[in-house]
């Protein structure tokens, strides 16, 4: 299965790489509704920074300790973070 960001439609017939701008335009054409969704639906944020911030502390905790010892410990950690 190929990545949706790299399509055979964006490659020339000889398979040589194209410029970044040509590849961007090909991806934009293929995913236009996703690119412009934030302009049509005001509930959708322009970027995903908040989503990344939401998982940063949990990921840092997981990296430092290796993992949560149990599901219950993980639930307590997230409950404490939301208060």
Query: Residue 2 pLDDT > 50, yes or no?
Result: no
pLDDT of residue 5: 52
pLDDT of residue 58: 75
pLDDT digit string, tens, across residues 13-69: 666 778 889 888 988 899 888 888 888 888 887 777 887 887 787 777 777 776 777
The structural domains of the chain, with segments of one domain joined by +, span 8-40, 49-82
**Residue pair 9/26 in contact by the 8 Å Cβ criterion:** yes
pLDDT of residue 35: 80
Instruction: Using pLDDT thresholds of 50, 70 and 90, give the confidence band for residue 12.
Output: low
The backbone torsions φ and ψ at residue 5, rounded to the nearest 5 degrees and listed phi first, read -80, -20
- Token readout for 78 is 């997230």
In angstroms, what CA-CA distances link 24 with 7, 17, 21, 43, 56? 11, 13, 5, 26, 29
Query: Residue 72 pLDDT > 80, yes or no?
Result: yes
């Amino acid at each position: 299965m190929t990545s949706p960001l790299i399509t055979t439609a964006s490659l020339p017939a000889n398979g040589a790489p194209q410029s970044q701008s040509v590849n961007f335009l090909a991806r934009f054409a293929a995913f236009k509704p996703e690119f412009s969704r934030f302009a049509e639906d005001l509930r959708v944020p322009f970027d995903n920074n908040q989503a990344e911030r939401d998982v940063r502390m949990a990921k840092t905790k997981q990296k430092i300790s290796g993992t949560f010892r149990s599901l219950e410990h993980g639930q307590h950690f997230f409950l404490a973070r939301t208060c």
